[in-house]
Chains A and B, each alone.
Chain A
């Protein structure tokens, strides 16, 4: 539901880097988005296509890598991945404790882009 402001922000960052690097055309943009985010990949691309019209990023493809949800056990410090469906009932595979903190899964990150 909040794809629009996220996409605006992506375009702004991409265009700033393109300008600094004498880019004529942006072809592919690689993003990392945490699995905890409810973003729909398809909608990000659609908003991007709309917002980027007339810029050098027009026609660029967004490739979204979903980073896993990783918890770290507060008892033994082991870190372990967890599926979103099991998030509210997960125990540390090493020691069985349930007290943990989230160490990844909320990322919104632009990694790199392929350009001409």
Chain B
């Protein structure tokens, strides 16, 4: 029997993705294009929020969108119909986007000289939280029908985001969703997160989101 040896490996499993992500951030920093990664469960309103954002930024910020979808182009078509450059990445069953996939989207939008690119990540509160896309800002949506207990179930997602948009507040009166409990849970996980209550349906709170976004894009442009 041959002797067993121990080899010290000491390597980060995510090193490859983290390196590509750092490259994406640097490249977009040089072209002054802010990259924003939008994450949520399926059906919480990512596409509706993007359509509201297209309206809110009109004339002020040049926007492009990278859509991730398991196997359809429905979302990209909706965005492109508003005259916004949109790239659909088909993830072919993957549960998240990684930095290499995002690079393909950015390459396709590169000629447009954009101020802001929004990634609509795959609808999922688990996997996208683990993979750095190269985004400068991470934003998540939680919609009222999903419940106020989600920070207890998916803590990592709430931990990595800069902004939490609580969408579908027009449903609040029909639900036992406890906004104060949600805020407390989220802020304990991540004291620096900004929480904005919105309804993509009625437009409530959207101006606060647009104001935050414009301020961040401007700050990014000035470096």
Contact of A88 among B2, B7, B16, B152 (CB under 8 A): B152
Query: Separation in Å of the A1 CB from the closest CB of chain B?
Result: 5
For B95, list chain A residues within 8 Å (CB).
1-2
User: In the bound complex, do residue B9 and residue A2 qualify as a contact, i.e. CB atoms below 8 Å apart?
Assistant: no
B155 an interface residue at 8 Å Cβ cutoff?
yes
User: Which of the segments B51-59, B65-73, B126-134, B161-169 contacts the partner chain?
Assistant: B126-134
User: In the bound complex, do residue B188 and residue A98 qualify as a contact, i.e. CB atoms below 8 Å apart?
Assistant: yes
For A5, list chain B residues within 8 Å (CB).
94, 98, 131
Would you call the interface of chain B mostly helix, strand, loop, or mixed?
Answer: mixed
- Among A5, A74, A98, A113, the most chain B Cβ lie within 10 Å of the Cβ of A5
With A1-B127, A2-B130, A102-B159 in contact, is A85–B152 under 8 Å at CB?
A: yes
A13 to B11 CA separation, bound complex (whole angstroms): 8
For A115, list chain B residues within 8 Å (CB).
4-7
B96 an interface residue at 8 Å Cβ cutoff?
yes
With A2-B130, A17-B7, A99-B191 in contact, is A108–B186 under 8 Å at CB?
A: no
> How many residues of chain A have a CB within 8 Å of chain B?
41
Whose C-beta in chain A lies nearest to the C-beta of B131?
Answer: A2
Across the A-B interface, give the 8 residue pairs with the lowest CB-CB distance, nearest first: A88-B185, A108-B13, A2-B127, A110-B9, A1-B95, A116-B2, A87-B155, A88-B151
A109 to B17 CA separation, bound complex (whole angstroms): 14
Query: Separation in Å of the A4 CB from the closest CB of chain B?
Result: 8
A27 to B14 CA separation, bound complex (whole angstroms): 22
A84 to B159 CA separation, bound complex (whole angstroms): 12
Q: In the complex, given contacts A98-B191, A99-B191, A109-B12, what are 16 additional A-B residue pairs having Cβ atoms less than 8 angstroms apart?
A: A1-B126, A1-B127, A2-B130, A2-B131, A9-B13, A36-B159, A85-B152, A88-B152, A98-B188, A102-B159, A112-B6, A112-B7, A112-B8, A115-B5, A115-B7, A116-B5
A42 an interface residue at 8 Å Cβ cutoff?
no
User: In the bound complex, do residue B9 and residue A108 qualify as a contact, i.e. CB atoms below 8 Å apart?
Assistant: no
For A12, list chain B residues within 8 Å (CB).
16
> How many residues of chain B have a CB within 8 Å of chain A?
37
With A88-B151, A88-B155, A102-B159 in contact, is A116–B3 under 8 Å at CB?
A: yes
Contact of A9 among B8, B10, B14 (CB under 8 A): B14
B124 an interface residue at 8 Å Cβ cutoff?
yes
For B3, list chain A residues within 8 Å (CB).
116
